[in-house]
């Protein structure tokens, strides 16, 4: 499955507030879009983290939709973005946070991006050689 990691360099919130930190986190990974005026992505991530911390088990997108009183299709849209980014994964119908914590998930995503850049660099070098371009 293709993975898309988006990084947006945004100024961190000035004050330490959980909701603002989660919103910044989601925005920094491009998980929220301009059309997400109700910050559903942030709410989904917050609820997912809350449920996983409270129960220490997997959660379903149905449960998140019920908790947030949001249409399941809207929740699933944001879940797909989270899965595609590599932050979470599905295990049958359950959602799991990669690595078991947000920090571990980010570390795994960093490793993913390093592998992507290594492959890009290798192919770029081969293209340069074929085209006769020299490294400065």
**84-115, pLDDT tens digit by residue?**
999 999 998 899 999 989 999 999 999 999 99
Q: What is the DSSP letter of 15?
A: S
The residue whose two tokens read 């961190």 is 12
Query: Which tens digit of pLDDT belongs to each residue from 37-96?
Result: 788 888 999 999 998 888 767 789 999 999 999 999 999 999 999 999 999 999 988 999
Tokens, residue 49:
């983290």
Q: Using the structure block, give the residue that is written with the tokens 């997997």.
A: 58
pTM of the complete model: 0.83
């Amino acid at each position: 499955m293709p993975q898309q990691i988006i990084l947006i360099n945004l100024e961190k919130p000035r004050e330490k507030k959980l909701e603002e930190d989660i919103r910044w986190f989601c925005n920094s990974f491009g998980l929220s879009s301009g059309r997400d005026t109700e910050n559903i992505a942030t709410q989904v991530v917050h609820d997912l983290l809350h449920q996983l911390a409270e129960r220490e088990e997997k959660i379903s997108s149905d449960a998140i939709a019920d908790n947030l009183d949001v249409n399941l299709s809207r929740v699933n849209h944001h879940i797909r973005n989270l899965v595609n980014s590599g932050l979470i994964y599905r295990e049958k119908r359950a959602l799991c946070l990669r690595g078991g914590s947000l920090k571990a998930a980010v570390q795994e995503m960093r490793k993913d991006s390093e592998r992507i850049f290594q492959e890009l660099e290798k192919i770029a070098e081969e293209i340069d050689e074929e085209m006769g371009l020299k490294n400065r």
